[in-house]
Amino acid sequence: MTSILVLAAHPQLGHSRINRTLMRAAAASALADRVQVRDLYALYPDYLIDVAAEQRALAAADLVVWLQPLHWYGMTPLLKLWVDEVLAFGWAYGPGGHALAGKDLWLVASTGGAEASYRPDGTHRHFFDAFLPPYEQTATLVGMRFLPPLLMHSAHRASDAEVQAHAAVFADRLATYPEWPEMAELAPCVMPEVAAIDRPAPEAA
């Protein structure tokens, strides 16, 4: 049975109906035997990440979900720190770093702005896809396949019905993974080589 790891990374979860609702949907009893939800801000309020624990959770998963609001066009602060520390050289990438190769990464994100604001003539001046390369390349570097993101725009203005409908889509995707129709069209990730010389040598004690 496939295993799914949902990493929730909202710095003010109490203010987010959509992220709270999606977390509850992921932890629903029908999925409890295959889904683990880790609320990073609840686990690490001091930002002191237990790298070994996070790596164990990752190693056991087939699908890793990053559940987050978009912050200044990117990751929330703790998720960025998590990437910096957990996806370590020699473990996730570089010589000997193949722990995540062959797994899938799925971004589930919300924005405050409307979908129309992510256009060349809108507030953010680009279509939303323009902000995805850092996520996609992070997945590629560690040998993971980057799945098409699930987005909710105007999250704080969404009606309760819209939030529940979005959560139902999210829960269905988790329940049916990896049998998604578009999977057959996605190429496997080709993990790039990162030479040891691309990193500074450890300083002598």
* 158 in any annotated domain: yes
The pTM for the full model equals: 0.93
Encoded amino acid at 76, one letter:
T
Contacts for 185 with CB less than 8 Å, ≥ 6 apart:
none
For the domain that residue 70 is a member of, what is the CATH number? 3.40.50.360
* 21 in any annotated domain: yes
What does the block give as tokens for 20?
A: 């709270």
Encoded amino acid at 2, one letter:
T
Per the CB < 8 A criterion, the answer to whether 70 and 152 are in contact is no
**Distance between first and last Cα of the chain:** 46
* 25 in any annotated domain: yes
What does the pLDDT look like over 138-182, one tens digit per residue? 999 999 999 999 998 888 888 989 999 999 999 999 999 999 998
Percent of the chain with pLDDT over 70: 97
* 204 in any annotated domain: no
Q: For the chain, what is the domain count?
A: 1
* 205 in any annotated domain: no
What does the pLDDT look like over 79-110, one tens digit per residue? 999 999 999 999 999 999 999 999 999 999 99
* 106 in any annotated domain: yes
* 116 in any annotated domain: yes
What does the pLDDT look like over 188-197, one tens digit per residue? 888 888 877 7
Angle CA 10–16–19, to nearest 5: 65
Question: Whose structure tokens read 């929730």?
Answer: 8
pLDDT recorded at residue 79? 98
What does the pLDDT look like over 24-77, one tens digit per residue? 999 886 777 899 999 999 999 999 999 999 999 999 999 999 999 999 999 999
* 80 in any annotated domain: yes
Segments forming the whole domain that contains residue 123: 4-198
Average pLDDT across the chain, whole number: 91
